[in-house]
Structure 1
Amino acid sequence: MTTPAAAAEAPPGLDLTDYLRVIRAYWKGIVALTLLATLSALGWTVLQPKIYSSDSSGIVVTPGSDNVSLSLAGDSLAKAKVKNYESVAKSRLVADRVIAALGLDTTADALLGSVTVKVPLDTAEIRVTAQSTDPATAQRVADAWVNGLAAQVEAIETVPPAQAAVESGAAATPDAGTPAGATATAVRVLPLGKAVLPTSPSSPNTKLNLALGALVGLALGMAYAVVRRHLDRRIRQASEIERLFGVPAIGTLPADRRLEGRSSVLDTGTTEQIHDAGGAMAEALRELRTNLSFLDVDQPPRIIVVTSSVQAEGKSTVTANLAVTMAAAGENVVVVDGDLRRPTLVDVFNLVPGAGVTDVLTGTAELDDVLQPWGALPNLSVLGSGRIPPNPSELLGSRAMKTMLNTLAENAVVLIDAPPLLPVTDAAVLSRVADGAIVVIRSGRTTQEQLAQSLGNLDKVKGRVLGAVLNYVPTRGTDAYSYYGTYTSAPAAVPAAAPQPARPVVDSPEESAVEAALSGRRAKG
């Protein structure tokens, strides 16, 4: 058996099935976070001002020529110049020209923040994008920016007359044939049409913001689900018991609405209850009975302790209904109420309280006198707890207790309803004189730490763990109990011939008794 440290082992990485199970388990949280993030993105989008964008462009040109070589040289010159003009287009000089041309009430730095200049790769084109809360303003700024750039380039490329004369080696005189103004520019920027008036805002992008919000919310939801999965230490599946603790899960019992708030016997072995709404529970109990019989074929356990980690996990209900299911299969069964602190089996079987285990152990009553047969199944007897003693652990660990259990086990299978393992040591003491213990686990409530400590308590006294029973498994949801219904023989086909007179069938008392005794033996598919 594994030690309590097994529960602290890191779980393996999640595979696709685990992620799907996590999504099914925490889908409400995932959907809630996704919707919250999407609505937050929508609210942020609504609060943002609407920004309109307008595009305008210009092209750098050089004087044309019929010579191919000169034309290629001019094209290369234009592409080389456009890189420099990009910096000019982003300067305050152009911004000041636009402000003066349009009469804008703003600064050059503020206007530069609303204008974007780009030069496509390996072209002589300059593209200007202007943004504004007013679509008309965006259009006017885009056109004015290209025009301002053209004027600024012309001012830069224009050579003064004096400088041109010095560079040519001649004196600058009015009679030299040079105009009084500047010389013609070799490179200039020409606007490529007018900017278009925008009809819809370019920012904020509602669809993009909502998509990003949904993705962020989905990521947060998945993170929340995975964190919850790692922090949730409650046991929900039988596979977790086997994987974390190495203990076989010999039974899985579904939740039954008839057991809410009380312990009772559900299946008395009658034919009617096999086909009723509690068929899932009856079939699960028969599966538990079968698995228990195959734990050790050569030396099957005769004295079995049924316990749990803490109270309210359903151990008394499991003990009583397992005993009824075994007795319905024809086995002699004795149920012993080993909970000398809070006895409940007498109430579960609706028997008269009185003398019991403590009276037999103290010698004040004989064993045959205190055994109470259960009326529905004569081969099932119940031994109550008797008077509550001041020293339950000492009585349960005494030699008289071992002798009494061995005597009962000679002719019957003994099931002991023991107290929980964590609050008291009674169940661990009983496991020493028994052939093994069954630990009942409540799905969605018992934690890994509680089960690890319970198994550790049994391991300290060298008690044998026969297996674990996962109880109260939900019938709906991610970890729902699977039940495939009743498997019966097919109804006989009705012949097309004339109907024959039917012979009435009368069940005799003997036949009814046999049917009740053998109903638990009917094979399941």
Structure 2
Amino acid sequence: MEATRPVTADLSHYVGVFRRHWWVVLAATGAGLGIGAAVTQALPRVYESSTSVLVQAVDQDTNASGGRTKGAINLDTEAQLVPSGAVATKAAALLRSPVSPIELAHDVSVEVPANTTVLVISFEADNPRDAQAGSHAFAEAYLRNREEAARSVLDQKIKTLNLKVRQLTTNLTSINSRLAKAPNGSSDRSNLESLRSNSQNQLNSLTGKLNELTTATVDAGSIISDAREPEEPTSPNALLNIATGTMLGLLAGLALAFMRERFDRRLRTAADVRDRGHIPVLAALDERTTPHFDDVLQPYGPGGRVFNRLRNEILASLSPGDQIIVVTGASRGSSTTLVAANLAAALARTGSDVVLVGAHLPDSVVDAAPLARMLGVTAMPGLSDLLAGRIGLERAMQRTPRIPSLRVITTGGAATAAGLMQSQRLRDTLQALRQQTGYVVIEAPSTSSSADAQSLASLADAAILAVELRRAKRPALLDAAEQLSRVGTPLLGAVVLPHLTGMPRSAAEENLPAVALSAQRPDETAVLDDDRTQPMRIPTGPPARPPRQGDGSEEVTAVIDLTTVAKPGGGQPGSKPASSPEKPAEK
């Protein structure tokens, strides 16, 4: 990624969350799959058998207004009758089951296929045989109950017709008796004959209906597909349970992954720096564009193009008269060195006179090597020697061989005194650099390691944060921005780098002189010669030559005893060093 504009969270951001927390998603998905399998094993087996019943219309059948079917039978009503108490009682009697009819009714279900007069009666049980028997029993009990209801209605009609026939017969007998006594030609006889004719007609009609009812047969319906013994249980559904458990586990895993990402204190993407740290991202580098020690100064490489664009944006953000830029980090590491060196090189390519100051005082001489080997200069003397008063400013600055307009002040030897970053000599040095150079880039230590970064930022015109992903944390980033704001230094933004897993040595680094890195005998000290970059070894005691007079700058022969980690005046006990850091040589 070469763009120096603030990045946005897109699909790759969410894929990155999954990639970083894949084990959480995988574990949750596996747990969901296991839970689904365990539930399948724990649930009781349920078998279901079905019986299809063809329902025939009987005389008492009436369809409700607006029913689903247009026939005389309302199948919705019939479906509700199947699990009724009367049918369940008959089914329990047929099954000879000790289970109560109410509990049996809970296991039965009825479906009505569309555009048919068929009821599908299903029964569930814990074994195939009981499921088959229960479905058949409920179908048989329903048909018997329907037949008994139809027979009861028919018997009631026959009883009513018999009573009416008896009444008409009695009435007709009375009319015949009165007609026998009535004289011929009288009006009474004419009326009685009319009544007898009407009664005889009614009696004949009722007798015909009674004959039809007494000879009628009741057909409530029949079983067209009897229940079969099921081969496989319908519940639990192993495939459904496992798939559901796996999907729920996957969703839970994704939720946990995003929760871990949300509450993770480490910064993992450039979007985290912008969104969670509330700091604008000036440049975001990846593994392809991050410079190494052998191509740190390549202007046309992918990393060089990123820093060229970063340089342009920084120059556009600086106010007139701003010269000093401090580069610090939100975490320990070498990200500050990479950003400061490449930024200084990009500024020097414009033809401006640039000085890169390595202000991260090392804990040992070996720590001073990275910045020196990146730019092809010697590790000593450096800033620590300058601030300690052992050398002057001109001697501390070394011109890089590849970019003539870039000069470097390395960190130098081990720190010999505490609080050098708060000394007046540092302020005077930076003031002198303002007058002599165009731009000054300071490689400061991280804000989480010491207060030196804040002290240096108070003397600078602008600050840049180097953020190494997966190493820097959000609280440290916020603290870094707070430290800079408290001293009034404008924070231009952050340069985001991937996690730097190692520092590969380049071919140029292999050819650099090993300055004060070789082991020495306890009775020897390393002296930096003014005219040579190689250290020369001399016996402990008075210096090989007196300090020479400089051209206005204070210069003293640097005497560093590596056996005591650069303690001034190292040597045999009782011997007096040629010069002391506390008392620099007079002009």
- After TM superposition, the structure 1 = structure 2 runs for residues 393-404 of structure 1, keeping only pairs within 5 Å, are 393-395=421-423, 398=424, 400-404=425-429
The code of the aligned residue for 1:231 comes to: F
CA distance in 2, matches of 1:419, 1:457: 13
2:34 matches 1:39: yes
Structure 1 residue 130: Cα displacement: 1.6
> 2:150 maps to which residue?
157
Structure 2 unaligned blocks of 5 or more: 1-6, 60-68, 170-206, 502-587
2:134 matches 1:141: yes
Q: Report which stretch shifted further, 188-197 or 332-341.
A: 332-341
- After TM superposition, the structure 1 = structure 2 runs for residues 50-129 of structure 1, keeping only pairs within 5 Å, are 50-62=45-57, 78-80=72-74, 82-104=75-97, 106-120=99-113, 124-129=117-122
Higher relative contact order (CA 8 A, sep 6+): 1
Secondary structure at the counterpart of residue 73 of structure 2? helix
Of 451, 454, 465, 1:439 maps to: 465
Indicate conservation of the 8 Å contact 2:289/2:303, yes or no. no
> 1:304 maps to which residue?
325
2:365 matches 1:339: no
The code of the aligned residue for 2:429 comes to: M
Percent identity over the alignment? 24
Indicate conservation of the 8 Å contact 1:52/1:131, yes or no. yes
Secondary structure at the counterpart of residue 48 of structure 2? strand
Indicate conservation of the 8 Å contact 1:59/1:191, yes or no. yes
2:504 matches 1:471: no
Query: Alpha carbons of 1:163 and 1:16: their partners in 2 closer, same or farther (altered >3 Å)?
Result: same
The code of the aligned residue for 1:389 comes to: A
Residues 63-107 of structure 1 show CA distances to partners (whole Å, capped at 9, x for unaligned) of 59xxxxxxxxxx978424x55543442134433433443444544
Structure 1 residue 463: Cα displacement: 0.6
Structure 1 residue 420: Cα displacement: 2.1
> 2:444 maps to which residue?
418
TM-score, with normalisation over the residues of structure 2? Answer: 0.61
> 2:178 maps to which residue?
none
CA distance in 1, matches of 2:497, 2:321: 23
Q: Alignment length, in residue pairs?
A: 434
TM-score, with normalisation over the residues of structure 1? Answer: 0.67
> 1:224 maps to which residue?
256
Residues 297-327 of structure 1 show CA distances to partners (whole Å, capped at 9, x for unaligned) of 5859643212112323632344346556767
> 1:449 maps to which residue?
475
Indicate conservation of the 8 Å contact 2:291/2:303, yes or no. no
Secondary structure at the counterpart of residue 170 of structure 1? helix
2:264 matches 1:252: no
Structure 1 unaligned blocks of 5 or more: 1-10, 65-74, 260-264, 476-525
Structure 1 residue 440: Cα displacement: 0.8
The code of the aligned residue for 1:34 comes to: T
Q: Report which stretch shifted further, 457-466 or 377-386.
A: 377-386
Secondary structure at the counterpart of residue 215 of structure 1? helix
Secondary structure at the counterpart of residue 463 of structure 1? coil
Secondary structure at the counterpart of residue 414 of structure 1? strand
Structure 1 residue 213: Cα displacement: 2.5
Indicate conservation of the 8 Å contact 2:330/2:473, yes or no. no
Secondary structure at the counterpart of residue 131 of structure 1? strand
> 2:244 maps to which residue?
212
Secondary structure at the counterpart of residue 288 of structure 1? helix
CA distance in 2, matches of 1:447, 1:254: 20
The code of the aligned residue for 1:295 comes to: I
Structure 1 residue 56: Cα displacement: 0.8
Structure 1 residue 407: Cα displacement: 2.5
Of 193, 214, 227, 2:225 maps to: 193
